[in-house]
Amino acid sequence: MAGVVRRIKLGSQGLEVSAQGLGCMGMSAHYGPPKPDQDMITLIHHAIDAGVTLLDTSDVYGPYTNEILLGKALKGGVRDKVELGTKFGGCISGDNKWDIRGDPAYVRAAIEGSLKRLGIDSVDLYYQHRIDTRVPIEVTVGELKKLVEEGKIKYIGLSEASASTIRRAHAVHPITAVQLEWSLWARDVEEDIIPTCRELGIGIVSYSPLGRGFFSSGANLVDNLANDDFRKYLPRFQAENLEHNKTIFEGVSDFAARKGCTPSQLALAWVHHQGNDVCPIPGTTKIENFNQNIGALSVKLTPEEMAELESYASADAVKGDRYMDGISTWKDSETPPLSSWKALKGGVRDKVELGTKFGGCISGDNKWDIRGDPAYVRAAIEGSLKRLGIDSVDLYYQHRIDTRVPIEVTVGELKKLVEEGKIKYIGLSEASASTIRRAHAVHPITAVQLEWSLWARDVEEDIIPTCRELGIGIVSYSPLGRGFFSSGANLVDNLANDDFRKYLPRFQAENLEHNKTIFDRVSDLAARKGCTPSQLALAWVHHQGNDVCPIPGTTKIENFNQNIGALSVKLTPEEMAELESYASADAVKGDRYMDGISTWKDSETPPLSSWKAA
C-alpha cells in the first residue's frame, strides 16, 4: 500500500506530513479498554507502510500509556519515517483533581516526560492540549519557543484555542498547526478560528473527523460502547438527542450509497475537501477500518455535493453539545494579559502578600453597581485569579458593601472560597462597625481597609475600636490624603482631566484655599523634623499602632523610596498631638468623596432573615 497517501505542507514553517494522519488515543484510553500492544504496533506499522506518517498522541492518553505504546512502535528505525505529534497540558493535581497547566515549569517537565516515554530526542509537533486560562498564552508559548531553540521540539501547535489566543501565541513564535474538532457535525470553528489560521498561515489538524465514530455506524455506535468509553456520556449520544441526530447519519448514508462509498468515507472526504491546509486524523484500532479511511482520499465531491452534505448536519440539525459541562474547549481558552504575569513571574509571587477586591461593577444598563451576591462573588474571584495568573489570593476584600445583600450571605460565600483554597484571608473595605461585627461572626475578618490619614479620621470613633476589639488588622488607604500631604494645593494644578481627584470636594477651589493651611503647618513641622511633609504624614499613620498597615500608592521609584523613609521618623506624643491639631475635623473643609459614592456611612445591610425568606 506504500505511496497511497499524498503529502501536504502543514503550516508555513516547513513541516510536511501525510494528507491524513492516525489518531492513536483509542488504542490505549477513553474508548474502552486498552487494546493489545502488539496488535496496535502492527496497525501503526501498517499505516506507515500505507503512507500515513503523521501520528497523534498525548501524555494524557492513559495517562502516559499511549506514548509508551508509540515509543515501542517507533523502535528499529521507524522513528525516521514519521512525523510525531504529542501534547501536554492536562494533568492530575495534588488533590487528585483534573487540572490544566501551561506554566513554564510544567511545560518543561511535560516535554521531558514525553521524550522519555517515547524514547526519542525530539518531538516533531508539540501541542498545548488545552489552554491554561491562569497563565498568559505568551508565557506558555515563550517556554515552547525555548524548547524549539534547544531542539527538544521542532514545531509548536495549539489545541482547542480561540482565534484571539491563537493570534497572541503566534506573535511570540510561529504556530505550525491548530488541532480542533472539525467534522460534518462540528463546524463552530469555521466562523473565526479557521479564517484566523489561514490568515496566519497555520495548518489545521482535524480530530474526530468522523464524529467520534458516529459517521461510521450512526446511532448503533452507542449500543456497542463499553461503560468506560467516555463517548457513552457525551451529550450528542444521549437518548434525548440521539433519536434526533440519527437522521443526520441516515441522510449521509443514503448519499454515500449513491456515491458508491461508505458513510465514513463520505464524511472524511468532506473534511479533505476543506483545503490542502487541513489534515484529518481519524483514529481506529482495526486495520480494515484504517484501510476504509484511506479510501476517503479517493472520494471526489462537487461543490453541490458538499453543500448537500452540509445541509444534513447544519447547526440547527445537530442536538447536544460536543462535550459534557466542565470540559475545556476553545470557547473558554482566553488567558490573562501578559502584564499580569510579568509582575509576579519568576518566583516573585511567592515573595508577596497579594490583596485584591471585588464588589464594584458595570451593570447591564451600563451603570455603576455594587454586588455582593454569592454568584457574583464566585465569578469575581475566578476573574481575578485568571487575570493575575495565580491559584490563590492572600487577602480578598469586599471593596464596597452591597446594601441589598445581608453581609452574612456575602461572607458565607467568601468562607467557601477560603475552604476551597481560592482565597486565604477575608477583608472588608469601607464597612461600618456593625457590619464588621456581623461579618466577623460568620468567618474571622483579617483586615478592614479604610481611609485613615491626618485629614480623614472619622473612622476613629467606632470602626477602629471595633477592629481592635475583634483582633482585626487595619489597612490604611490614601494615608497621604490622595497626594495632598506630598505637594499641598499645588497637586491640583498638575492633575489630568481624567484624574478623579480633580473632582473631589476637598480639592475644589472653595475648599482648597482653606485646606492649604493644613499642608503649610505640616510642612513647617516636617522642616523642623528634618523630613518631608509626606514622610511626616505617613509617620503619623505608622504611630497609630502595630496593627495598622498604610498602603501609599506611587508610580515613581523616588517617591516610593521617600515613603519608606517614613518608617524611620519618630514622633513624640506631643508631636502627634500637634499634627492632629492642624487637621482636626473643624479644620478640614469638604467631604472625602462626591455625593453618590458609597462609604462606611452607608454600608448597613438587611438582616439575614430577609434573605432566607426571599
Q: Which residues are catalytic?
A: 61
Identity of the residue numbered 301? L
Distance, CA of 584 to chain centre:
48
Q: Sign of the CA dihedral 304, 310, 314, 319?
A: positive
Three-state DSSP class for residue 84: strand
Q: How many CA atoms lie within 13 A of 162 on its CB side?
A: 12
- The secondary structure of 326-357 as a DSSP string is T---GGG-----HHHHHHHTTTGGGG---EEE
Contact of 505 with 594, CB cutoff 8 Å: yes
Give the span between the Cα atoms of 242 and 494, in whole angstroms. 68
Rg (CA), the chain: 32
Coil, strand or helix: which one is 531? Answer: coil
DSSP label at residue 159: E
Residue 1 is given by DSSP the state -
**What is the DSSP code (8-state) at residue 127?**
E
Would strands 278-280 and 355-358 be described as parallel, antiparallel, or unpaired?
A: unpaired
Alpha helices (runs of H) in 543-590, residue ranges in sequence order: 557-565, 573-582
Partners of 235 in the β-ladder: none
Pair 1, 16: CB distance under 8 Å: no
CA dist., res. 275 & res. 11, Å (int): 12
DSSP 8-state code for residue 189: G
**Apex CA 422: angle with CA 345 and CA 344, to 5°?**
10
DSSP β-bridge partners for residue 8: 17
User: What is the grid cell recorded at 588?
Assistant: 478640614
* DSSP assignments along 400-460, one per residue: S--TTS-HHHHHHHHHHHHHTTSEEEEEEES--HHHHHHHHHHS---EEEEE-BTTB-GGG
Note the helical H segments in 494-556: 509-529, 533-542
∠ at Cα 304 (302, 306), nearest 5°? 70
Contacts of 469 (CB under 8 A, 6+ apart): none
Q: Which residues contact 609 (CB under 8 A, 6 or more apart)?
A: none
CA pair distance 415, 421, nearest whole angstrom: 10
Q: Measured between alpha carbons, how far is residue 571 from residues 464, 565, 566, 583 in Å?
A: 21, 14, 11, 17
Q: Grid coordinates in use for 234?
A: 457525551
